[in-house]
Amino acid sequence: MLAARKNSTMTNNHTNHRTQPSGPPLIQCRRLTKTYKKGDNTITPLQELDLDVPAGDFLALMGPSGSGKTTLLNLIAGIDRPSGGQLIIGGTDISTLSRSKLADWRSVNVGYVFQLYNLVPVLTAYENVELPLLLHSMSAKDRHEKVQTAMQLVGIADRHDHYPRQLSGGQEQRVAIARAIVTDPTIIVGDEPTGDLDQESAQAIMDLMVRLCEDLGKTLIIVTHDAKSAAYAKRTLHLEKGRLVEAELLATRHAPLVPQEA
């Protein structure tokens, strides 16, 4: 069970990192490339991207619309497959897995949180959270316990029988997070998980994400447009035109045109 958060208010880029285990990073992208062919045109949303994500990291991805953020997230989540390069996660190069093996890998290793929650409207909150467990063989009792635990973790245990339309956006996203963590995956990815929420609900969701990282040791990668949400992560990387932009480059680009006196 979760311990209560040590600090009730988050500070920017919290520094109480877990000690990183030695060994290779959990996620290694090597010259990772994604291309789409449309007639004679080739679109390259990701170009030879190199990225290491250690276990227990909380990474925020930012960048303009169309810069490849969702593409990268979907590759790491095993929803989509790379056109080139390597994507080694937990020692497995998932770019070499067949579609069905990749689906199996995803159901064990990754939880996905979407901007618009993607709950099934005709299922209750409980049934939505239970859904990923139906892919795994387990007793009804085990399944019930896992759903209960996930719903308690995200603070939505009193909404079992509610349908998505009976929940606020913030509550729907909690249900979606419970669904993402119910199989106890190593990696949680979120594509603009606070993009449709008011500021207060967004902060509560980001607080919850921090707990998943700090208390449960999950590795999180979220895409966000919102600097306030990104500030909850341990580090932020920026994508532009399918490439990671170096922090120094960004700093130079955003430097004042007229040098300021010290």
Residues in the site for ligand ADP, rule: CB under 6 A?
A: 36, 43, 45, 63, 65-71
Nearer of residues 56 and 242 to ligand ADP, judged by Cβ: 242
170 binds, among ligand ADP, Mg ion, none (CB under 5 to 8 A by kind): none
132 binds, among Mg ion, ligand ADP, none (CB under 5 to 8 A by kind): none
Shortest CB 7 distance to ligand ADP, Å:
32
Shortest CB 88 distance to ligand ADP, Å:
21
43 binds, among Mg ion, ligand ADP, none (CB under 5 to 8 A by kind): ligand ADP
Nearer of residues 62 and 154 to Mg ion, judged by Cβ: 62
DSSP state of 119: -
Nearer of residues 72 and 167 to ligand ADP, judged by Cβ: 72
Nearer of residues 54 and 195 to ligand ADP, judged by Cβ: 195
Helix (H, G, I), strand (E, B) or coil at 89: strand
Q: How far is CA 223 from the centre of its chain?
A: 7
Helix (H, G, I), strand (E, B) or coil at 243: strand
Shortest CB 43 distance to Mg ion, Å:
14
Binding footprint of Mg ion on the chain (CB under 5 A): 69-70
Look-up: residue for tokens 């994500």?
A: 53
Shortest CB 101 distance to Mg ion, Å:
26
Nearer of residues 196 and 215 to ligand ADP, judged by Cβ: 196
Q: Quick check: 208 and 174 in contact, CB under 8 A?
A: yes
Shortest CB 68 distance to ligand ADP, Å:
4
| C-alpha to C-alpha distances, 19 to 24, 53, 55, 217, nearest whole angstrom | 14, 14, 10, 11
Q: Which residues pair with 51 in a beta bridge?
A: 29
What is the gyration radius of the CA atoms in the chain, in angstroms?
Answer: 19
Shortest CB 188 distance to Mg ion, Å:
17
Cβ contacts of residue 72 below 8 Å, gap of 6+? 29, 32, 46, 49, 51, 61, 239
185 binds, among ligand ADP, Mg ion, none (CB under 5 to 8 A by kind): none
67 binds, among ligand ADP, Mg ion, none (CB under 5 to 8 A by kind): ligand ADP
Shortest CB 210 distance to ligand ADP, Å:
23
66 binds, among Mg ion, ligand ADP, none (CB under 5 to 8 A by kind): ligand ADP
Cβ contacts of residue 113 below 8 Å, gap of 6+? 173, 176, 177, 180, 188, 189, 190, 191, 193, 222
Pairing of β 27-38 and β 84-89? antiparallel
Nearer of residues 74 and 86 to Mg ion, judged by Cβ: 74
Nearer of residues 70 and 224 to Mg ion, judged by Cβ: 70
Cβ contacts of residue 127 below 8 Å, gap of 6+? 120
